[in-house]
Structure 1
Amino acid sequence: MDTMRDRFAPVVSRLLDEDPRVAVVLAAIGTDGFAGATRRHPDRVVDVGIREQLLIGAAAGLALTGLRPVVHTFASFLVERPFEQVKLDLGHQEAGAVLVSAAASFDWPAGGYTHMAPGDVALLDTLDGWTVHVPGHPDEAETLLRHAVAAGDDKVYVRLSVQANGQALPVDGERFRTVREGRSGVVVAVGPMLDAVLAATEGLDVTVLYATTVRPFDGAALRRATEAGGTDVVLVEPYLAGTSTAAANDALSDVPHRLLGLGVGRRELRRYGRLEEHVAAHGLDARSLRERIAGFLGAAVRV
């Protein structure tokens, strides 16, 4: 199976051909994928070099002229390094753009901590008005990329990962999807966490919701799920643990409930290792998730 990032350049290249508003801004990373598009649209494919602050500033400038910029690099260089520009050049000026990241939380362990960004979504949560898509499969990534570019002049973040579920599900860029129904708790699986969550909850009497658009947070879907499936809620996110707990608590603010946020831990892992080892070290493999979910929900979850 190809990766989400494998889909990125072909999809956006087609959008460049289809829509004269679309522009692409790169920072030396991912340029090979746009070689053909650059020849066809040299005025709308811009490589600023290894200058991530300029990457965001240039995108904001293009947006202010009426274009729809799609901006791409590793998550740590797209959200964390140029955060002041994301906050001011885009947010303060109310300039829309589509930020498309790669490497997710720790997709490339050999790159070291400089190329890891488990806090990217939490950081964007300090700003107003961002839509955040977290696809779990390359097909979903393609759909959500098109949604993002078509979203008027909104500010959208699309978080791509080499981690992926085995099968794509229909996504609409808005709502959570009910994958499994139960009566003793609700587990929300975000993006590429779905397969591990389904394996971890096999035989447990829980509802599983699938979230590929996490901002805005679909509080209505969570409320409906808790009405039938119980008010113990577990969030399983592929980035910093607890990132969405505030949003979930807000959705259930008038309902007595318990909430557990699982995700990437704050402790820095200082050995490169392999991707799978990082997943396990953060307790996001199916076996670890089963222990943590069953332990939180208690014996009542067993069918």
Structure 2
Amino acid sequence: MDTMRDRFAPVVSRMLDEDDRIAVVLAEIGADGFREAGRRHPDRVINVGIREQLLVGAAAGLALTGLRPVVHTFASFLVERPFEQVKLDLGHQDVGAVLVSAAASFDWPSGGHTHMAPGDVALLDTLDGWTVHVPGHPDEAETLLHHAVTGDDKVYVRLSVQSNRQGRVIDGKRFLTVREGLRGVVVAVGPMLDAVLAATEGLDVTVLYATTVRPFDTAGLRRATRAAGTDVVLVEPYLAGTSAGEVNRALSDIPHRVLGLGVARRELRRYGTVEEHVAAHGLEARGLRERIGRFVDTGRPVTV
């Protein structure tokens, strides 16, 4: 199966052909995928070199002229390194762009800590007005790219080599109910769904699938808690607890408990493989089963 990133350049290249408002801004990473598109549209495929601050600054300048910039590099170089430009050039100037990342939390372990970004979504949470898409399958990535590029707002699309076995029909807004139960709600984000479904097999819980996490589907979560109770487990492929505040706001008028599972804060200093990093953070089915099972068994959930 191809990866989410494999879909990125072909999808956006077709959109470049169809819409002269779209521009692509790169910092060497991913440039090969846009070589042909660059020949067709040399004024709208721009490679700034290994200059990530300029990458975002140039995109903001293009947005000020009325273009729709699509900006791409590894997550650590797209959100963390040029964060001041994301905050000021895009946010303060109130212009839109589509930031499309690769490498996710630890998709390239041999690249070391410089190429890991489990804190990217949490960092964007310090800013106002960002839409955040976290697809769990290449088909979903394609759908969400179309949603993002055809809009005008500030959007982050987080691509990963981790993937669920099948894509689902998503609308870029609401959570999907994948399984229904009575003893808690588990929110599986993006590529975490398959592991969550395996981990919760036989548990009497509702499983919601989230591929758009900002804005957070408050209404969808509240609907689920009416039947399943207000014990909520978040399983996120980035920093553990990133969306806990969103759950607390959604259920602020109701007694509830939240367990945030995801990438731990501790730095793993061995390269290893993606699978070994997943296991080390307890995000494989066995690790999730132990913690989710213990949480939902510690008391009956409060019902609404």
TM-score by length of 2: 0.98
Residue-by-residue CA offset, 1:250-283 (whole Å, 9 max, x unaligned): 0000011111000000000000000000000001
Q: In structure 1, what is the equivalent of residue 212 of structure 2? A: 213
Q: In structure 2, what is the equivalent of residue 258 of structure 1? A: 257
Q: Does the residue aligned with 1:221 lie in a helix, a strand or coil?
A: helix
Q: In structure 2, what is the equivalent of residue 189 of structure 1? A: 188
Mapping of residues 1-303 of structure 1, within 5 Å: 1-151=1-151, 153-298=152-297
Alpha-carbon deviation of 1:95?
Answer: 1.1
> Which amino acid in the other structure matches residue 274 of structure 1?
T
Q: Does the residue aligned with 1:78 lie in a helix, a strand or coil?
A: helix
| Structure 2 Cα separation of the partners of residues 150 and 3 of structure 1 | 22
Same amino acid, percent of matched pairs: 83
Residue-by-residue CA offset, 1:269-302 (whole Å, 9 max, x unaligned): 000000000000001000000000000110779x
| Structure 1 Cα separation of the partners of residues 263 and 29 of structure 2 | 25
**RMSD of equivalent CA atoms:** 0.8
CA 57–180 in structure 1, closer or farther in 2 if over 3 Å, else same:
same
| Structure 2 Cα separation of the partners of residues 5 and 213 of structure 1 | 18
Residue-by-residue CA offset, 1:97-137 (whole Å, 9 max, x unaligned): 00000000000000000000000000000000000000000
Contact kept in structure 2, 1:131 and 1:156, CA below 8 Å: yes
| Structure 1 Cα separation of the partners of residues 134 and 230 of structure 2 | 25
| Structure 2 Cα separation of the partners of residues 173 and 186 of structure 1 | 21
Contact kept in structure 2, 1:184 and 1:300, CA below 8 Å: no
Segments ≥4 residues shifted beyond 2 Å: none
Q: Does the residue aligned with 2:236 lie in a helix, a strand or coil?
A: strand
Q: Does the residue aligned with 1:238 lie in a helix, a strand or coil?
A: strand
> Which amino acid in the other structure matches residue 7 of structure 1?
R
| Structure 2 Cα separation of the partners of residues 252 and 177 of structure 1 | 19
Q: Does the residue aligned with 1:261 lie in a helix, a strand or coil?
A: strand
Residue-by-residue CA offset, 1:121-162 (whole Å, 9 max, x unaligned): 0000000000000000000000000000011x2000000000
Q: Does the residue aligned with 2:101 lie in a helix, a strand or coil?
A: strand
Gaps of 5+ in 2: none
Residue-by-residue CA offset, 1:188-231 (whole Å, 9 max, x unaligned): 00000000000000000000000000000001100000000111
Contact kept in structure 2, 1:60 and 1:89, CA below 8 Å: yes
> Which amino acid in the other structure matches residue 32 of structure 1?
D
> Which amino acid in the other structure matches residue 92 of structure 1?
H
Q: Does the residue aligned with 2:172 lie in a helix, a strand or coil?
A: coil
> Which amino acid in the other structure matches residue 179 of structure 2?
R
Gaps of 5+ in 1: none
| Structure 1 Cα separation of the partners of residues 99 and 49 of structure 2 | 17
Equivalenced residues, count: 300
> Which amino acid in the other structure matches residue 88 of structure 2?
L
> Which amino acid in the other structure matches residue 2 of structure 2?
D
